[in-house]
Every structure is written in C-alpha cells, then in structure tokens.
Structure 1
C-alpha cells in the first residue's frame, strides 16, 4: 500500500526561460502559489497570455480520489491569484495541460494516458471552455506529449506509457504537417533512452538556434529534477541531442526540495513546480480509508 505521496507546488519566475537558463535557478526570485490543502497538489503549470493578462493552467489532484483535473488560474500584475476555476475534467485522469495556438485556434493537449488515447482540445468561447476535437494517433499511447512547431512542420515529443521504464526513460518523436494530423512516428523511435533526460517536462523552446526540450530526470525518483535537452538535429530521418546538467531546486522552495519536474514558459514568464514527499501516518490512513470504501 503506497505510503509516500508526492506533494507539488507551483512557482512563477518573472523572466523568460532563456534568461532563467543562462543565470541559473538556484537563487532566482520565485513567486510561489499558495500551498494546497492536505493531500492535494497543484502541478504541471503552463502559462497563457490573453488580452494582456497572464493565466495559468495546471493539474489539480486529490489523493482521496486519485483523479486529476485541469484548473485555470487568472493572475494579477503581482502574480496574485484573482480567480481559480475548473476548466477541464474527464472520467479519466488529466495532467500536463500544455496550451498553444495553431491554425487560427487555441488548443490544449493534456496528458491522458489512462484513457488509452491522446486528444486535442480546442478552446470554444473562453479559456474555461474546451471541446474535445481530434484524437491524435501515434505508435504508442503517449505520456506528457509536447508539441513544437519547427521547419514548417509540427513535432511531438512524448514517452510511451507501456511500462515504468518507457514512461520514465524513453523519448519518442512524431511529426505532422498540421497540428490535427495525421501524425507519423519517427523511424528512429525511441530516439533517446535515458532515465535522466527523456521524459518531457515542459515547453520546447528555440534558443540560439537550438531546440531546448525540458526533460525529467527520473534516475533517482519520479520527477527528481529537470534537465534541458538540447536538440541539434530534428528531421524525418534523424535526431541528435545532448542533455544539460540538472537544474537545482530554487533556494526559496523551503520543504519542497525533493523534486522538480516542470519548466514551462511563455508570455515572458517561466513556470516551475517542485515537490516534497509526504511520509506521514496520516497519508497511510488516507489510503486505508480510500480502499475500504
């Protein structure tokens, strides 16, 4: 019966990711969002600016139900939360709600491997309303699929959900002419096998002519650290990349120093999440009660 529980907390850095990577994150000022109630967490934050306002999409999770949904947080100029509301829920677990624009629409591509599928959602009348639009069919059911537009095509980085080794340590790539597909798996899949730098962990960004894909270092624990994966070749037949050093948890994180698994960016800000591991007897008792229902 699981006793350890990862408790995540999100933070906002008022700098673009290029600057954060150049100067390091150890001592960077971070605006930490409020802690969640016991045995809840907010994780996988992704930013979106609209009409001059910063919004944040994130997974909200309750260990009592073990079911993740997506919340929308609207932030003020000082990064205070002005409004928080649910914006996407399904019968299956959702997380990693990356939001982006393509083909004249705003899209969300949340992680949903427990459903056995990956769906692209289109924003309908506002940031709190999303409609399931397209099923993205790949060679494997993906985890943490991360889209990136490059060289006139859309690329998708993901890890296969098959088993722990592939979820944590394999990187696959697919490409398409349009975000809605059809998608073609890279012939070199898995293009990378490394528990320390394969599973995507945030927004892919072009920096000084190189693609930087944040990846999760799972060599010690799930989401133990973030490593930038610098991609030097990405085309229909080839892939080449080198991993950078793991990023340290910011000094201001307090007890949340046992993991770091998202580095997302957009709108001039960088978002992160960090964790502590709850090992309390209260957490064990919560599991007992949940299983006795």
Structure 2
C-alpha cells in the first residue's frame, strides 16, 4: 500500500483479481493479513436478493490462488468493512454494522473461521466504516456517524482512547471534515514520512466512484489540518471494472483494492424486486 500511496496512482502495479461472484452478488471492502504462510482476506459478500452483506474469508497462497473460502460472520443485520486489527496477541475484526444499532468488536477464536463478540468493547455510536490506528499509547478512531442519513457519504469524525476497548471519547460534537469527495473512510490508515495518510471514498460522482488520499501531519490533535495528497481512479485496463474504486487496504507487502462495474438490466432488476416482495409476503 505504501508504494501505491507514494506513487499516487495505480498504473505502475499489476492487479490480480479474484473470480467473479455471479449474478446479483458482489465482493467489497477487502482487509487482510498474512497468517501461517497464507494471505487471509476478509471481505463483504453482498447478495441483492437478500439486500444483506455477510463476511467471507479467503485463504490465498503466494500465487493468490484461492485455497479455501467460506462465510465466517453472518448476523441478522447487514455487515461490511471487516477492518482487521492485531493487538494483545489476538486478531480482532471491527465490521460496519450500523443497522444493529452499535459498533461491535469481534475476537478471532479460530482465525479466520470463528469469531466471538467482545463484551469489553464500547463505542459512543454505531459508527460506519470505523478505522482505528494506534500512535504510541493512544488509539484514534476515524469514522462516519450513522445519522443524519444524508451525511453518510460526506462526514468524518474522530474519537480517542487509551485502549482499543475504550472508553472512547468523541473529540468534538462536530465533524472534523465535511466533503463528499474525501470524508468517508475507505481503508487502512498509513504513516508515511511524518504524516498520517487516510484512504477516503470519493462519492462525488457515485458511491464508491474513486479514492482520495487525505493526509495530516503528526502528531495528531483534535483539530487536524487536512490536505489532499492525490486521487486514485480505476484504470482502463481494469475493464470491465472501471466504474469505481472503493477500498485500499494493506496486508503486509500486498495492497488490497476493490473496483466495480455497473450493469443496467431493468428487466432483471424488476424480477429481483418481485422475488423479494414475494418472499416477504410469504414470510408474513
């Protein structure tokens, strides 16, 4: 990821894509780390037929071939953005789950296949795309608040704690940034040459339309001064995935990204919506 940040563009680097998901489904928000010689990637697996995401894990070898994959976290609510943290000898996941009404931290009981909720973790709100980073003895959390709904693509807030588990303190009642092009988190915070770099979603044209690299000098404070370092857009050679780039995260020397294509199929969409309505009526 550092190489991409320093280059400020995608084109010098070769991309290896995971296999397509099939109709009515997509993968997004990849986060990963190396474990026992394999690259473990966790991602949101979304199904339009259920309007709900679950978290899938992928085990990849050194040639990025999938050795194993399966759903590892499925809740009654939508899940996405499975941010991974190594802390205290354990591996933790902090997925986006604002429809549950809270932000929940999970500990890996058997990484990456089995997870349990941490009863010790608490956060002031059901933060969206929460991305923690530690500097010295303090933890900082960058996130988007769940309300108001119209601000979910353009609002950034910061909280601080002495421990990953909290208590977390919101540093200001007001957002530290409002900008549809660079205020919602989109990946792993990174320190480069005395500055904190945040990958942010650029939603000016569409949700997940691109990425903006935001930076602020260290040490951090409650009122950071932000500067746009560069913008990252999908490349023509990524075809057909040229309609957006949504997440940039680090897994050792590997950089994880997601890209999208938009397919207009009105008849299939009508059939999908009719099927959902029929299932809902049957359930009632």
Does the TM-score normalized on the shorter chain lie above 0.5?
yes
Deviates more, 1:20-29 or 1:118-127: 20-29
Deviation at 1:22, TM superposition (A): 2.5
Residue 58 of structure 2 aligns to a residue whose secondary structure is strand
Q: Deviations over 1:96-129 (max 9, x none)?
A: 0011111222100000011110000011133211
2:170 corresponding residue in structure 1? 185
Higher RCO (C-alpha 8 Å, min separation 6): 1
* 1:74 correspondence with 2:74: no
1:108 corresponding residue in structure 2? 93
What is the aligned counterpart of 1:272 among 232, 257, 273?
257
Matched-pair contact (CA < 8 Å) for 1:141–1:162: no
Deviation at 1:234, TM superposition (A): 5.5
> Mind listing any 5+ residue stretches in structure 2 that lack a counterpart?
280-284
1:224 corresponding residue in structure 2? 209
Deviation at 1:136, TM superposition (A): 2.6
- Separation in 2 of the partners of 1:257 and 1:136? 38
1:205 corresponding residue in structure 2? 190
Deviates more, 1:228-237 or 1:67-76: 228-237
Give the count of matched residue pairs: 276
Matched-pair contact (CA < 8 Å) for 1:146–1:156: yes
Q: Deviations over 1:192-246 (max 9, x none)?
A: 0101000000000111111111000111111110111112256453322112332
Deviates more, 1:55-64 or 1:249-258: 249-258
> What pairs up with 1:11-160 in 2 under 5 angstroms?
17-23=1-7, 24-134=9-119, 135-138=121-124, 140-160=125-145
TM-score w.r.t. the length of structure 2 is 0.93
Deviation at 1:168, TM superposition (A): 0.4
Matched-pair contact (CA < 8 Å) for 2:91–2:111: no
> Mind listing any 5+ residue stretches in structure 1 that lack a counterpart?
1-16
Once superposed, what is the RMSD of the aligned Cα atoms?
Answer: 1.5
